[in-house]
Chain A
Amino acid sequence: MMTHQAFLATENLSLEFPRSPAGVRAHDSGKRKPVLDRITLSLKDGDRLAVIGRNGSGKSTLLRTLAGVLPPTSGRIWSNGTIAAILSASAGFEKTASGYDNIYLRGLLLGMTKPQIEKTLPSIIKFADLGQALYEPLHTYSSGMVIRLAFAVCTSSRPSILLLDEWIGTGDAVFVERAETRLAGLLDNARIMVLTTHSAALIKRFCNRAIVLEGGRIVCDGPVERGIAFYKQLVAATKLARMERQKAAESEFSV
């Protein structure tokens, strides 16, 4: 039984990608744009944070930085508790290995030991529902089968801090329903959760706080309803601005 208080905090967290040698990133200007810009957050026991934002707003980068995968350009991240980050369905899978072997590989990647994996093996196999395909190489699987397997393994660990990227919401309706039920069980154990998603339904069901990211900065922080409403306004404003730009371009062309 865990007795410590889980905690995850950032202090003026900024991250910018350097210009690559081939000049692939930031090729249009000499300036480097920060992907995360002075993010300060404090999460404690019971916090279920939704990170909302448009594509490219820095949601996945924030999750990777919180997981300690990417280093901040400046700022600090503090934590107390075991962190598990489920960032991608296929990362950590070996395509030439069987689904069965990949359960072990992915489990080890998540920091589980072999006995721990063996203990959870029946529930993983049951949830993945792959039949005899479990013993076939992963490259023979459909994307749905890969997601089922990945989700089954990833949700078998019991971290105190859980970071989930938006791929959780992918898959067919039956899978999403089963995944949500399993996720609810996982969240019972996790003290802190951070979820990036575009799905208002997922946010309302699993989160109690939301932040909206725009250009790498937190532009809204509060209850989920406020976060969702702010995000909707942001999307509407962006659409309007795009339409006006299009209109202006068309009128310029016709002149």
Chain B
Amino acid sequence: MHLIASDSGINLFSDLRETVNRWELLRTLSVHRALSRLRGTFLGHVWQALSFAVFTFGVSLLWIAVFKIESQHFLPHVALGLFIFWYVSGAIIESTRSITTNAGLALQNRLPMAFFPMLAVGKHTLIAAYSIPTVVIAMAMDMPQLTNAAFLAIPGLLLCLLLTSGASILVSYICVYIQDLAELLSAIMRFMFFLTPVIWMAEDRLGLSVILIVNPLHHAINVVRGPILSDSGVLFSFAVMIGLNIVCWSGAWLAYRRFGRKVLLRI
């Protein structure tokens, strides 16, 4: 005999295990939601890769021409920066509304609570995967001298993925209770694009070092791009990312323990 519902909170990690058990549903829905808007277009899935490519190459060439940027590896710098920035910010912003926009699903089916933010993460992981060819082409066009330290980009990418998942789960809960936070986060993320060295080089703007230190998105980018392009402050960014992961996952664990499925009574 199993206890299927009570007024107590839920364990985030057993909820995540349940989410993994619904992997087939998560994958099918994520793929559908990422690609459904392209149904009926002539180029289909190619658009997903093309829109990232057009923006990356367009903005890089424009910046080089307008601001006379002479820095080496500007193209891979922009491509890698955009790749991480769009992935992290896109998944987190979509997660803020992931429970309320899926209210129909959530109130009619017994799905684990982490399923909804992970749906947003899954969708944006697929969208990011379509951007990989552009990143590879950008790096091939302006190939940096790779060292052994470049392998650090792999754990960096894993830390990024982990942070995106933890932050998405946390904000999905908080934003049901504080709905204004979803709008605030969305507005902040737009502004953060200009505060983060995606289309500008951090080395050229030393006066902004404080902003870079407190900017989590800079560290998320730096743990992936830094090892590949031999940027500075990579180890510090790794330390910050580990700290941010601990904060986000602890916050998510506490939110699940405190509110459990009660969050559904608010939507």
Interface residues of chain A, those whose CB is within 8 Å of chain B, are 7, 15, 17-18, 20-21, 64-65, 67-80, 83, 85, 87-88, 90-92, 94, 96-97, 101, 104-105, 108-110, 113-114, 137
Q: Which residues of B contact A104 (CB under 8 A)?
A: 28
Please report the C-alpha to C-alpha distance between residue A216 and residue B193 in the assembled complex, in whole angstroms: 51
Once the chains bind, are B108 and A69 in contact (CB under 8 Å)?
Answer: yes
Once the chains bind, are A72 and B1 in contact (CB under 8 Å)?
Answer: no
Once the chains bind, are A72 and B36 in contact (CB under 8 Å)?
Answer: no
A130 to B: closest C-beta gap in Å: 19
Quick one: which of B3, B39, B265 contacts A78, CB cutoff 8 A? B3
Once the chains bind, are B6 and A77 in contact (CB under 8 Å)?
Answer: yes
A36 to B: closest C-beta gap in Å: 12
Once the chains bind, are B39 and A96 in contact (CB under 8 Å)?
Answer: yes
Once the chains bind, are A18 and B266 in contact (CB under 8 Å)?
Answer: yes
Quick one: which of B2, B39, B104, B264 contacts A71, CB cutoff 8 A? B264
Quick one: which of A7, A18, A20, A91 contacts B1, CB cutoff 8 A? A7
B184 to A: closest C-beta gap in Å: 15
Please report the C-alpha to C-alpha distance between residue A2 and residue B234 in the assembled complex, in whole angstroms: 57
Interface residues of B in 101-132 (CB under 8 A from A): 104-111
Once the chains bind, are A83 and B5 in contact (CB under 8 Å)?
Answer: no
Q: Which residues of A contact B109 (CB under 8 A)?
A: 69, 85, 87, 91-92, 109-110
Known: A73-B7, A85-B109, A113-B24. A90 touches B104 (CB 8 A): yes
Q: Which residues of A contact B106 (CB under 8 A)?
A: 69
7 sample A-B contacts, Cβ–Cβ < 8 Å, listed by A number: A17-B265, A21-B266, A67-B110, A71-B261, A91-B107, A92-B105, A108-B25
Quick one: which of A71, A91, A97 contacts B5, CB cutoff 8 A? A71
Q: Is B29 an interface residue (CB 8 A)?
A: yes
Please report the C-alpha to C-alpha distance between residue A104 and residue B37 in the assembled complex, in whole angstroms: 19
Q: Compute the total of residue contacts between A and B using a CB distance below 8 Å.
A: 108
Known: A68-B110, A69-B264, A91-B107. A79 touches B4 (CB 8 A): yes
Please report the C-alpha to C-alpha distance between residue A243 and residue B111 in the assembled complex, in whole angstroms: 45
Residue of chain B at shortest CB distance from A21 = B179
Other A-B pairs beyond A21-B177, A71-B5, 7, CB < 8 Å: A20-B266, A21-B178, A64-B108, A71-B264, A71-B265, A72-B7, A105-B25
Q: Which residues of B contact A7 (CB under 8 A)?
A: 1
Q: Which residues of A contact B260 (CB under 8 A)?
A: 71
Q: Which residues of A contact B5 (CB under 8 A)?
A: 65, 68, 70-72, 76-77
Residue of chain A at shortest CB distance from B176 = A21
Q: How large is the interface on B (under 10, 10 to 19, 20 to 34, 35 or more residues)?
A: 20 to 34
Known: A71-B262, A109-B109. A97 touches B3 (CB 8 A): no
Residue of chain B at shortest CB distance from A64 = B107
Quick one: which of A64, A74, A108 contacts B7, CB cutoff 8 A? A74
B29 to A: closest C-beta gap in Å: 7
Please report the C-alpha to C-alpha distance between residue A83 and residue B109 in the assembled complex, in whole angstroms: 11
Quick one: which of A76, A87, A96, A101 contacts B108, CB cutoff 8 A? A87
Q: Which residues of B contact A91 (CB under 8 A)?
A: 104-105, 107-109
Quick one: which of A20, A73, A90, A97 contacts B32, CB cutoff 8 A? A97
Please report the C-alpha to C-alpha distance between residue A7 and residue B32 in the assembled complex, in whole angstroms: 37
Once the chains bind, are A105 and B29 in contact (CB under 8 Å)?
Answer: yes
Quick one: which of A76, A79, A90, A137 contacts B6, CB cutoff 8 A? A76
Quick one: which of A76, A110, A114 contacts B3, CB cutoff 8 A? A76
Please report the C-alpha to C-alpha distance between residue A17 and residue B267 in the assembled complex, in whole angstroms: 10
Q: Which residues of A contact B266 (CB under 8 A)?
A: 18, 20-21
Once the chains bind, are A94 and B32 in contact (CB under 8 Å)?
Answer: yes
Interface residues of B in 1-53 (CB under 8 A from A): 1-7, 22, 24-25, 28-29, 32-33, 36-37, 39
Please report the C-alpha to C-alpha distance between residue A75 and residue B4 in the assembled complex, in whole angstroms: 11
Q: Which residues of A contact B3 (CB under 8 A)?
A: 76-78
Please report the C-alpha to C-alpha distance between residue A109 and residue B6 in the assembled complex, in whole angstroms: 22
Residue of chain A at shortest CB distance from B9 = A71
B119 to A: closest C-beta gap in Å: 12
Most chain A C-beta atoms within 10 Å of own C-beta, residue among B37, B110, B260: B110
Q: Which residues of B contact A69 (CB under 8 A)?
A: 106-110, 261, 264
Q: Which residues of A contact B36 (CB under 8 A)?
A: 94, 96-97
Q: Which residues of B contact A72 (CB under 8 A)?
A: 5-7
